[in-house]
Chain A
Amino acid sequence: MNKSLKKNLFLAACVLPALILFAVFIIYPTVKVFISSLYQDSGLGNVSQFVGLDNFKAMFQDDVFYIALKNTGFLMIVSGAPTILLALFFAAMLTSGKVKESNFYRVVFFFPSILSFVVIAILWSFIYHPTMGIINPVLHLFGMADLDIPVLGNRNTVMWAIAVTIIWQAAGYYMVMYIAGIDGISKEIYEAADIDGATGIQSFWTITIPLLWDILKTTIIFAINGVITNSFTIVRVMTDGGPDRDSEVLLTYMYKHAMNASFGYAMAIAVFVFAISIVLSIISNKVTGGETA
């Protein structure tokens, strides 16, 4: 046996276990999702009937699906962008060396990221509690009793309330990533800018942002796709999609169908979610320029 063949065999043997695991746990289920979406299937293994694209047709005629889609989109914009901006702001502040307690704040801001989503959702449903929470009494304190509405029970406020929870949860996590990125930027560059008379804000825009761009791109994709999955837990615990259907998001709606013996339909929604995450990732990658990330 020649040497290079031997080496290739060895490499193949090394890669194989990971490949098998990847195939079994990632590729197979994903393919299965696509296949299931073409069937009318209770998910119980009894009768499953090929229905072609019927599930998708039904999906595009389903009012609640559009509500869920709209709400998911709303969360991506209303929680995605502020999360990133807030995280950047905190990172910049805490690395500037002007905040004495920066280590303390690092911990505090990162804290939500190590809490489970369920805990966070329960915590916030008490913050929003109409009588025991902190929001409504504060409104009364400032004489704004008219605004005293149960935020999670009102269709006009419920999605904003959920967005705030998601921002609170995620900002600290991205902040830590940005801090790591900023710490990696050589100090000399900042010093040089300083000597040239650049203000803090100028060096932030002209040094920090460009040199952080790769990390930013990655986190933008994370933040957008993260909303799709994170919103499931938050919504499920805090509102169960209510009031009525007003806070339904794509994954809670998918879950409800999967648990209601319309598994094929749920998988059609899953395929749609898969598609939009891919498309959004590509778009955000293109918009932010470059092949990396």
Chain B
Amino acid sequence: MKSILKKSMSLLLALGLTASVAVGCGSEPASQPAPESTAGSAASTEASGSTGGTKEFANKELNIAVFQGAYGRDFWDALAQKFMEQYPGTKINITANPKLGEMIKPSIVSGNPPDFIYLNDGDPSGVTKGLIKDKAIMDISDIFDSKALDKDSNIRDLILPGFLETPYCSPYDDGKIYLAPYNYGVMGLWYNKAYFDQKGYTAPKTWDEFFALNEKAKADGRALFTYQGIYPGYLEEVLIPAVYAAGGQQAVDDFTSYKEGFWKSEPAKKTLDIFSKIAGTDNALMKGTVALNHTQAQTAFMQGKSMFCVNGSWFEGEMKDAPREDGFQFGFAGVPGFNAGDPAIALVSVEQMYIPSKSKNPELAKEFMKFIYTDTAVRLNGEKAKAVMAVKGATEMVKEYITPSAYNCYKAVEDGMKPVVASLKPVANGSKINISDEIYKPFSSIMNKQMTVEEYADKLEKVYAQVRDELAKAQ
């Protein structure tokens, strides 16, 4: 279940990314095509409209493969339609499937991949990971250094800050962009806004404030915190932002790259102390949390059994039929920092789009990708996929299509809540380590007070050492 959630979440994220990219493309190319940018070798002929020109492409056929998940395929159908209208003579063939990875694998193996691929972040087929590993994805930095199709700024400047630099988009640390961000999702702590307003509480900005609320929570007959007990992987939504708050990007990089001594480092200690405190403080952890699945825990939170719960921007949509206490309102707090004045932090995940190196029609694929970063596409994506691309201003553009809580959540990130994007580096090929399970499963034991955070740190140091060994051997 968690995996489904994760999938849809990453999907959301990816969608969000694309959205933000699309926003980059800014102003709506009203009636006539606006494409006027660099886009490779294509000869461009001046069009009459003031908005721009129509480019000619030698190869007018584009094969795109898109994951059909929670966001459906409507966006892609509508977008392709618009693209074909603006680029007369082009033809876009869409392959959309919930099991897209499995479906396109044979064509990739036989050297005949689609020209453009969008796969969800949690895709089980491993196609994206495999292509990254094989360096079989095209460098698309030039797209981001070119002008948006509908604006006078580079696409790079339209993307939300902090996204393009992450391993999601530039996996090799070489400053080049290989994967374009699509939708994104925002994760952190949620609270009942109506209850907070009524009582005059404010969302915590620091962990001290967070724990200080415990007394008030207790007086109101609720616990301080709950999470999706049997799927402790959700705790990454607290853990990673906390690591960032304690040690900055460097600490997050150490965490995702299995650096020796990370779990003994100051940032890790500070982070783990939060969990130890939640486990050890009376009333801090909602009774029975460890035994609950995600629906049960989230329902309990909405019924007022707990003051805070971790989850992502999909929360309201996911729980739309769930019972809740009177007047319940979703409020998103992000994750607190350690010092007064630190910005709140939100874990962010992103969906990726890319062009395989062996694409038969990279020129048109790149043009299509730029097209996704136009305002028209961002809106269309909001309307059809109910998702937000990782583009500045996307949240506002799709406001009418997404839930109010999701809007607030995305808006917070656009307005200065610090987005942290982190994904664990792949373990060695053939490794038997499920790193996510290794990291998050033991949190049940920490919460049950059957394992101390020191024991946890020792255990994880060993796991990290093993991962490093395997990676070194695989080199």
Contact = CB atoms under 8 A, between A and B. Distances in A.
Q: Do A and B bind each other?
A: yes
Nearest to A121: B293
A123 to B, nearest CB: 13
Nearest to A157: B291
Contact of B291 (A128, A259, A260): A128
Interface stretch (B41-49, B196-204, B441-449): B441-449
Interface string A98-136: 000000000000000000000000000110111110001
Which of B231, B291, B445 has the largest count of A CB atoms less than 10 A from its CB?
Answer: B291
Given A44-B130, A130-B292, A242-B290, A153 B445 contact: no
Contacts of B289: 150, 153
Contact of B448 (A40, A44, A49, A155): A155
B378 interface: no
B285 to A, nearest CB: 11
Nearest to A247: B230
A153 B444 contact: yes
Interface stretch (B275-283, B340-348, B402-410, B428-436): B428-436
B105 interface: yes
A260 B444 contact: no
B288 A153 contact: yes
B11 to A, nearest CB: 17
B153 interface: no
A179 interface: no
Nearest to A64: B437
A150 B293 contact: no
B38 interface: no
B432 A62 contact: yes
Interface in A221-277: 237-246, 256-257, 259-262, 264-265
Interface range on chain B (Cβ under 8 Å from partner): 35 or more
A167 interface: no
Contact of B429 (A47, A58, A129, A132): A47
Given A40-B430, A256-B437, A131 B288 contact: yes
A129 B296 contact: yes
Interface string B116-136: 000000001111001000000
B130 A46 contact: yes
A264 B130 CA distance: 17
A197 interface: no
A150 B296 contact: no
Contacts of A45: 105, 109
B130 A244 contact: no
Given A45-B105, A153-B229, A260-B434, A243 B444 contact: yes
Given A152-B230, A243-B290, A243-B445, A257 B109 contact: no
Contact of B126 (A62, A242, A261, A264): A261
A234 to B, nearest CB: 13
B287 interface: yes
A261 B432 CA distance: 8
Interface string B290-303: 11110010001000
B432 A257 contact: yes
Interface in A65-116: none
B2 interface: yes
B55 interface: no
B450 interface: yes
B293 A259 contact: no
Nearest to B450: A155
A257 to B, nearest CB: 7
B224 to A, nearest CB: 16
A239 B230 contact: yes
B393 interface: no
A162 interface: no
Contacts of A245: 441
Contact of A265 (B127, B230, B232, B432): B432
B305 interface: yes
A130 B432 contact: no
A259 B126 CA distance: 10
Contacts of A260: 434
B429 A242 contact: no
A182 interface: no
A50 B229 CA distance: 39
B126 A262 contact: no
Interface string B435-463: 00100011011011011000000000000
Contact of A154 (B130, B430, B434, B448): B448
A244 B445 contact: yes
Contacts of A132: 296
B434 A150 contact: no
Contacts of B105: 44-45
A110 to B, nearest CB: 28
Nearest to B232: A242
Contact of A262 (B230, B431, B442, B444): B431
B434 to A, nearest CB: 5
Contacts of A244: 441-442, 444-445, 450-451
Contacts of B126: 42, 44, 46, 261
A150 B431 contact: no
A170 interface: no
A42 B296 contact: no
A151 interface: yes
Contacts of A46: 109, 126, 130
Nearest to A263: B430
A261 B448 CA distance: 31
Contacts of B296: 125-126, 129, 132
Interface in A1-59: 40, 42, 44-47, 49, 58
A155 B287 CA distance: 16
Interface string B176-198: 00000000000000000000000
Which of B231, B287, B289, B290 has the largest count of A CB atoms less than 10 A from its CB?
Answer: B290
B154 to A, nearest CB: 36
A150 B441 CA distance: 17
Contacts of B305: 131
Which are the 7 A-B pairs with shortest beta-carbon distances? A130-B288, A153-B291, A153-B290, A243-B444, A150-B291, A150-B288, A152-B291
25 contacts: A44-B126, A44-B127, A44-B130, A45-B109, A47-B429, A49-B430, A128-B291, A129-B288, A129-B292, A130-B288, A131-B300, A136-B288, A150-B292, A152-B230, A153-B230, A153-B292, A238-B293, A240-B2, A242-B290, A244-B442, A244-B444, A244-B450, A245-B441, A262-B431, A264-B430
Given A150-B290, A153-B230, A265-B432, 10 more contacts: A42-B130, A42-B429, A45-B109, A62-B432, A126-B296, A131-B300, A132-B296, A150-B288, A243-B444, A262-B432
